[in-house]
Amino acid sequence: MINIVLFGPPGSGKGTQAQHLIEKFNLKQISTGDLFRYNIKNETELGKLAKSYIDKGELVPDQVTIDMLTDELRKPSNTNGFIFDGFPRTIAQTEALEKIVRQELNSEISICLSLVVDDEILVQRLIKRGETSGRTDDSDVEIIRNRIKEYYAKTAEVAELYKKQGKYAEVIGVGNISEISEKLFAEVEKIK
Protein backbone atom coordinates (compact mmCIF):
# COMPACT_ATOMS: atom_id res chain seq x y z
CA MET A 1 0.00 0.00 0.00
CA ILE A 2 0.94 3.64 -0.44
CA ASN A 3 -0.46 5.73 2.40
CA ILE A 4 0.19 9.44 2.04
CA VAL A 5 -0.32 12.16 4.59
CA LEU A 6 -0.84 15.35 2.61
CA PHE A 7 0.30 18.14 4.84
CA GLY A 8 0.30 21.93 4.80
CA PRO A 9 -1.48 25.01 6.11
CA PRO A 10 -5.06 25.93 5.12
CA GLY A 11 -5.10 27.09 1.52
CA SER A 12 -1.84 25.38 0.58
CA GLY A 13 -3.59 23.35 -2.12
CA LYS A 14 -4.00 19.98 -0.45
CA GLY A 15 -7.43 19.32 -1.98
CA THR A 16 -6.26 20.10 -5.51
CA GLN A 17 -3.09 18.06 -5.24
CA ALA A 18 -4.93 15.17 -3.57
CA GLN A 19 -7.04 14.82 -6.72
CA HIS A 20 -3.92 14.54 -8.89
CA LEU A 21 -2.28 12.01 -6.56
CA ILE A 22 -5.46 9.90 -6.48
CA GLU A 23 -5.54 9.65 -10.27
CA LYS A 24 -1.84 9.01 -10.61
CA PHE A 25 -1.52 6.28 -7.98
CA ASN A 26 -5.11 5.02 -7.71
CA LEU A 27 -5.61 5.98 -4.09
CA LYS A 28 -8.62 6.79 -1.96
CA GLN A 29 -8.79 10.23 -0.37
CA ILE A 30 -10.00 10.79 3.15
CA SER A 31 -10.49 14.49 3.87
CA THR A 32 -11.61 15.27 7.41
CA GLY A 33 -12.68 18.76 6.28
CA ASP A 34 -14.93 17.26 3.59
CA LEU A 35 -16.35 14.74 6.07
CA PHE A 36 -17.18 17.52 8.52
CA ARG A 37 -18.80 19.61 5.77
CA TYR A 38 -20.88 16.60 4.68
CA ASN A 39 -22.11 16.19 8.26
CA ILE A 40 -22.83 19.90 8.59
CA LYS A 41 -24.85 19.87 5.37
CA ASN A 42 -26.88 16.90 6.59
CA GLU A 43 -27.33 18.48 10.01
CA THR A 44 -26.09 15.44 11.93
CA GLU A 45 -25.12 15.68 15.61
CA LEU A 46 -21.48 15.40 14.58
CA GLY A 47 -22.03 18.21 12.07
CA LYS A 48 -23.57 20.51 14.66
CA LEU A 49 -20.70 19.91 17.04
CA ALA A 50 -18.03 20.37 14.34
CA LYS A 51 -19.64 23.55 13.05
CA SER A 52 -19.27 25.28 16.41
CA TYR A 53 -15.48 24.92 16.10
CA ILE A 54 -15.06 25.29 12.35
CA ASP A 55 -16.95 28.60 12.25
CA LYS A 56 -14.42 30.07 14.67
CA GLY A 57 -11.44 28.73 12.75
CA GLU A 58 -10.59 26.33 15.57
CA LEU A 59 -9.76 22.65 15.36
CA VAL A 60 -12.51 20.15 16.16
CA PRO A 61 -11.56 18.14 19.31
CA ASP A 62 -9.20 15.23 18.68
CA GLN A 63 -11.39 12.35 19.81
CA VAL A 64 -14.34 13.46 17.67
CA THR A 65 -12.09 13.71 14.63
CA ILE A 66 -10.25 10.47 15.31
CA ASP A 67 -13.53 8.51 15.74
CA MET A 68 -14.88 9.92 12.48
CA LEU A 69 -11.69 9.00 10.62
CA THR A 70 -11.64 5.49 12.09
CA ASP A 71 -15.23 4.88 10.92
CA GLU A 72 -14.29 6.03 7.44
CA LEU A 73 -11.22 3.83 7.26
CA ARG A 74 -13.25 0.78 8.30
CA LYS A 75 -15.53 1.08 5.29
CA PRO A 76 -14.60 -1.62 2.79
CA SER A 77 -12.66 -0.30 -0.18
CA ASN A 78 -10.55 -1.63 -2.95
CA THR A 79 -7.61 0.70 -3.12
CA ASN A 80 -3.82 0.81 -3.44
CA GLY A 81 -3.74 3.06 -0.44
CA PHE A 82 -5.03 6.24 1.12
CA ILE A 83 -4.39 9.96 1.02
CA PHE A 84 -5.06 11.62 4.32
CA ASP A 85 -5.95 15.23 3.61
CA GLY A 86 -6.32 17.54 6.60
CA PHE A 87 -5.46 14.77 9.04
CA PRO A 88 -3.45 14.45 11.26
CA ARG A 89 -3.53 18.02 12.58
CA THR A 90 -2.21 17.38 16.09
CA ILE A 91 0.36 15.12 17.73
CA ALA A 92 -2.46 13.05 19.30
CA GLN A 93 -4.03 12.56 15.86
CA THR A 94 -0.66 11.54 14.42
CA GLU A 95 -0.23 8.86 17.05
CA ALA A 96 -3.84 7.71 16.59
CA LEU A 97 -3.38 7.48 12.82
CA GLU A 98 -0.33 5.29 13.15
CA LYS A 99 -2.30 2.90 15.35
CA ILE A 100 -5.43 2.85 13.15
CA VAL A 101 -3.48 2.24 9.96
CA ARG A 102 -1.65 -0.63 11.61
CA GLN A 103 -4.78 -2.18 13.10
CA GLU A 104 -7.27 -1.62 10.29
CA LEU A 105 -5.03 -1.87 7.22
CA ASN A 106 -2.10 -3.85 8.56
CA SER A 107 0.02 -1.16 6.95
CA GLU A 108 1.84 2.07 7.76
CA ILE A 109 2.15 5.69 6.63
CA SER A 110 4.52 5.70 3.67
CA ILE A 111 5.27 9.42 3.50
CA CYS A 112 4.18 12.86 4.64
CA LEU A 113 4.16 15.28 1.69
CA SER A 114 4.20 18.87 2.83
CA LEU A 115 3.09 21.84 0.73
CA VAL A 116 4.93 25.01 1.69
CA VAL A 117 3.24 28.37 1.04
CA ASP A 118 3.84 31.81 2.47
CA ASP A 119 1.19 33.04 4.98
CA GLU A 120 0.14 36.14 3.05
CA ILE A 121 -0.41 34.07 -0.08
CA LEU A 122 -2.56 31.69 1.99
CA VAL A 123 -4.74 34.54 3.23
CA GLN A 124 -5.19 35.88 -0.31
CA ARG A 125 -6.07 32.42 -1.66
CA LEU A 126 -8.61 31.71 1.08
CA ILE A 127 -10.33 35.09 0.70
CA LYS A 128 -10.57 34.45 -3.04
CA ARG A 129 -11.89 30.90 -2.46
CA GLY A 130 -14.47 32.35 -0.06
CA GLU A 131 -16.01 34.36 -2.89
CA THR A 132 -17.26 31.13 -4.47
CA SER A 133 -16.87 28.25 -1.98
CA GLY A 134 -19.70 29.31 0.32
CA ARG A 135 -17.52 28.10 3.19
CA THR A 136 -18.22 30.09 6.34
CA ASP A 137 -14.61 29.64 7.47
CA ASP A 138 -13.35 31.30 4.26
CA SER A 139 -15.62 34.32 4.57
CA ASP A 140 -13.82 36.37 7.20
CA VAL A 141 -10.18 37.42 7.43
CA GLU A 142 -10.12 37.03 11.21
CA ILE A 143 -11.34 33.41 10.96
CA ILE A 144 -8.78 32.72 8.23
CA ARG A 145 -5.98 34.17 10.36
CA ASN A 146 -7.13 32.06 13.30
CA ARG A 147 -6.94 28.91 11.17
CA ILE A 148 -3.37 29.77 10.22
CA LYS A 149 -2.61 30.49 13.89
CA GLU A 150 -4.03 27.07 14.87
CA TYR A 151 -1.84 25.53 12.19
CA TYR A 152 1.34 26.96 13.72
CA ALA A 153 0.24 26.30 17.30
CA LYS A 154 -0.94 22.71 16.94
CA THR A 155 -0.29 21.29 13.48
CA ALA A 156 3.15 22.41 12.28
CA GLU A 157 4.85 20.19 14.90
CA VAL A 158 3.30 17.10 13.28
CA ALA A 159 5.92 17.48 10.55
CA GLU A 160 8.69 16.92 13.10
CA LEU A 161 7.37 13.44 13.91
CA TYR A 162 7.49 12.37 10.26
CA LYS A 163 10.90 14.00 9.79
CA LYS A 164 12.26 11.93 12.68
CA GLN A 165 10.97 8.79 10.98
CA GLY A 166 12.60 9.81 7.68
CA LYS A 167 9.16 9.97 6.07
CA TYR A 168 8.92 13.63 5.17
CA ALA A 169 9.27 15.65 1.96
CA GLU A 170 8.57 19.31 1.26
CA VAL A 171 7.41 20.78 -2.01
CA ILE A 172 6.87 24.50 -2.66
CA GLY A 173 3.14 24.92 -3.22
CA VAL A 174 3.35 28.11 -5.27
CA GLY A 175 3.50 28.20 -9.06
CA ASN A 176 2.14 26.00 -11.82
CA ILE A 177 -0.29 23.39 -10.41
CA SER A 178 0.85 20.55 -12.69
CA GLU A 179 4.50 21.26 -11.93
CA ILE A 180 3.74 21.03 -8.22
CA SER A 181 1.98 17.69 -8.86
CA GLU A 182 5.02 16.39 -10.78
CA LYS A 183 7.26 17.21 -7.82
CA LEU A 184 4.88 15.35 -5.47
CA PHE A 185 4.74 12.37 -7.85
CA ALA A 186 8.55 12.25 -7.87
CA GLU A 187 8.62 12.05 -4.07
CA VAL A 188 6.16 9.14 -4.13
CA GLU A 189 8.13 7.34 -6.86
CA LYS A 190 11.22 7.48 -4.62
CA ILE A 191 9.54 5.37 -1.95
CA LYS A 192 7.71 2.92 -4.22
How far is the C-alpha of 98 from the C-alpha of 107, rounded, in Å? 9
Q: Rule CB under 6 A: is residue 40 a binding residue for ligand ADP?
A: no
State the number of binding residues for ligand ADP (CB under 6 A).
Answer: 19
Q: Is 139 in the site for ligand ADP (CB under 6 A)?
A: no
Q: Is 94 in the site for ligand ADP (CB under 6 A)?
A: no
Number of H helices, E strands in the chain: 9, 5
Q: Are strands 28-31 and 4-7 parallel, antiparallel or unpaired?
A: unpaired
Stretch that binds ligand ADP, among 20-28, 81-89, 105-113, 157-165 (CB under 6 A): 81-89
Among 11, 81, 130, 173, binds ligand ADP (CB under 6 A): 11
The answer to the question of residue 183 lying near ligand ADP (CB under 6 A) is no
Q: Where are the beta strands (DSSP E) in 109-167?
A: 111-116
Closest CA to 48 of 37, 59, 57, 63: 37
Q: What is the dihedral sign for C-alpha 25, 92, 167, 105?
A: negative
Residue 32 binds ligand ADP, judged by CB under 6 A: yes
Q: Where do contacts with ligand ADP occur on this chain (CB under 6 A)? A: 10-11, 14, 32-33, 36, 53-54, 57-60, 65, 86-87, 89, 93, 137, 147
